[in-house]
Chain A
Amino acid sequence: MEAHSKPEGVAQRPLIVADGLVKTYRMGAEVVKALDGVSLTIAEGEFVAIMGPSGSGKSTMMNLIGALDVPTTGTLAIDGRDIGALDSDELADLRNRSIGFVFQQFNLLPRTTALRQVMLPMLYAHPKPENPEELARHRLEQVGLGDRLNHHPRQLSGGQQQRVAIARALVNNPKILLADEPTGALDSKTSDEIMRLFTTLNAGGITVVLVTHEPDIAEWASRRVLFKDGHIVEDVRHAHRGVADRGMVSAAQRGSEAAE
């Protein structure tokens, strides 16, 4: 249908479909419209940056895409499920199966080893994986922390902590990786490392939705959606930095492997 006419192979099936999303909050006597009729389709395999100043509605959009909240009116389908029709337990299951969260403050549990952090989402999975420890170890190796399995957050640098969080987000094989200002607490060198990791993961097939207010970071994405006053004011696709960088990433990885 229309999808055929769309550019650059968005023939991938739509993963997130928002149609006329409205979200209102009551603040005392005042009713605040955080989202005012937002329609947006994100296909499987995309790397989307959601941008906008504070109060633009991007955080609200992120909460909805993360199935942490439901819209006031309009529909939002995530991985084929209309989240407005789900109860809180079904939303929890959807988050557990389909969405991996990465936060600005990492949100790791104190006094808990990296391995246990990554095993956390599997505690709530149905059915439970048979070898959670092995899966968790595999994910930590994938983010380059194979030698930090039994470290506590305090013993890890910020970048390493964020990698643990990413491994945790990936462990249930979600369709969507939802990152809320993932580099907000990191220096620029570490930020680049983390964004490179996202790019690699995206190249592996996972859909990445990145919420940020930093244009530098948004450049890593292949599509930028700009929010303002509860509306989408700009939605552009472009060649993302990761494409140009990809050769470099693998070169760097090869280099570090060689060094070890």
Chain B
Amino acid sequence: MTLLDCLRVALTALKANLLRSILTTLGIVIGVASVIILVAVGTGASSEVDRQINALGTNTLIVSSGDRRMGGRSSGAGSDRPLAEADMVAIRDKVSGVVAISGQLNGSGPVVYGNANWTTNLSGIHAEFNAVKDWPVASGRELTPSDIRSNAKVAMIGVTVAKQLFGENDPIGAMIRVKNVPFQVVGVLAAKGQSGVGRDQDDTVLMPMSTARGRIVGRSQVQNDQIGMIHVKIDPQISLVDAQEDIENLLRQRRPPLPGGEDSFSVRNLAEFMKARNEVLNTLSYLLAATSVISLVVGGIGIMNIMLVSVTERTREIGLRMAVGGKGRDIMRQFLVEAVTLCLFGGLIGIAIGVGAAALVALYAQWPVVVSPSVIALAMAAAAATGVFFGYFPARRASQLNPIDALRSE
């Protein structure tokens, strides 16, 4: 009996109980659809994470003072000692492989231009900031070392701020007031989009560190050499982990540990931070994968159940086929083909639903979704494997029937 013959018999049998066949495949439909959605969204998500990691700069370290970790509690003398200019200089001079370095001192406040005003993030930075963050200006110029040295009242603004204050007009050269201090806009930053945690990175005004220290963060809180956090860009040829260790060793010498022996600073590797986020996504993927495996198993059991019913209903037919010369393996193949056909039928419906749902996710969640042909092949293979696995037992039972008993059954 050829496969084509088996397929013809299978289709006849399945058509005879069309509703039953459709209901039976529901588990497979759900399983395959969730495989498609899972892989489509998962692939899209990891490519999005990759993009974000690249946007952050894969070879960037962030040094911050350790007091942040204490969650607002005062942890004794020295614990809230911020990082200073001297720390940055030490890192630049003593750690090998530093290609660019900049502090970033953050605050926030209103920015006014004419009648327009906007409350935004305000940051003091050093001249290499754009290089460290891979964040060039779209128009105008970056801040120069001399701007920093001279406490110049100049600023780069993000595109969100530019739009809020200037609309369609060119901001370059305009005078804005930041916390009532006039600044000249010298550059507009390239659009950067959302950060990994969903913050609008373009909603910012960047100014020289020296200028920011005096005016942006309330004077009383600011030590005169404070620089907030330090961004360090490391030569890609050099191991980021080694560089991280060098910085930690250096800062341990410069800064006394907290009571309890903990470091009074932390060095974070942004790529690792994003990888951790990626792991959350992976966990989500595992959950979806478990869902699809479970529904394939449940669907498979449904297939097995209905195939057993079918074998029982068609005992006489099996007997007849054996009487006219059908061998055990012919009967076995016939029922296996029927089970696999049922599963592939469910698989096709599942793929249609899965692709549709993935498209909806892409449309409404603005989440990049990738449905690749290999995923569809994988889903069909999973459906076929389910058919073979769960069809085997009923098919074997059919093939082992005694032809005499089978012919005589009612």
Contact = CB atoms under 8 A, between A and B. Distances in A.
Query: Do these two chains really belong together in a complex?
Result: yes
Interface of A: 63, 66, 68-69, 88-89, 92-93, 95-97, 101, 103, 107, 109-112, 120-121, 123-125, 168, 172
B323 A109 contact: no
Given A68-B403, A112-B12, A89 B328 contact: yes
A123 B320 contact: no
B404 interface: yes
Nearest to A168: B324
B325 A93 contact: yes
Size category of the B interface is 20 to 34
A165 B320 CA distance: 11
B57 to A, nearest CB: 68
B255 interface: no
Nearest to B408: A59
Nearest to B326: A124
Interface in B10-29: 12, 15-16
Contacts of A96: 324-325
Contacts of B326: 92, 123-124
A69 B404 CA distance: 8
Nearest to B334: A123
B328 A88 contact: yes
Contact of B323 (A68, A97, A112): A68
29 contacts: A68-B322, A68-B323, A68-B403, A68-B404, A68-B407, A88-B327, A89-B329, A92-B322, A92-B326, A93-B325, A95-B323, A101-B323, A101-B324, A103-B320, A103-B407, A107-B319, A110-B16, A111-B12, A111-B16, A120-B320, A120-B321, A120-B324, A123-B2, A123-B326, A124-B1, A124-B324, A124-B326, A124-B327, A124-B330
A101 B326 CA distance: 13
Q: Which of A68, A89, A112 has the most chain B CB within a 10 Å cutoff?
A: A68
Contact of B5 (A63, A68, A109, A123): A123
B133 interface: no
B327 A92 contact: yes
Given A112-B12, A123-B1, A107 B404 contact: no
Nearest to B8: A116
A109 B326 CA distance: 14
Q: Which of A63, A107, A125 has the most chain B CB within a 10 Å cutoff?
A: A107
Interface in B372-410: 403-404, 407
Contacts of B324: 95-96, 101, 120-121, 124, 168
Contact of A125 (B317, B322, B323, B325): B325
By Cβ-Cβ distance, the 3 closest A-B pairs, closest first, are: A96-B325, A124-B325, A121-B324
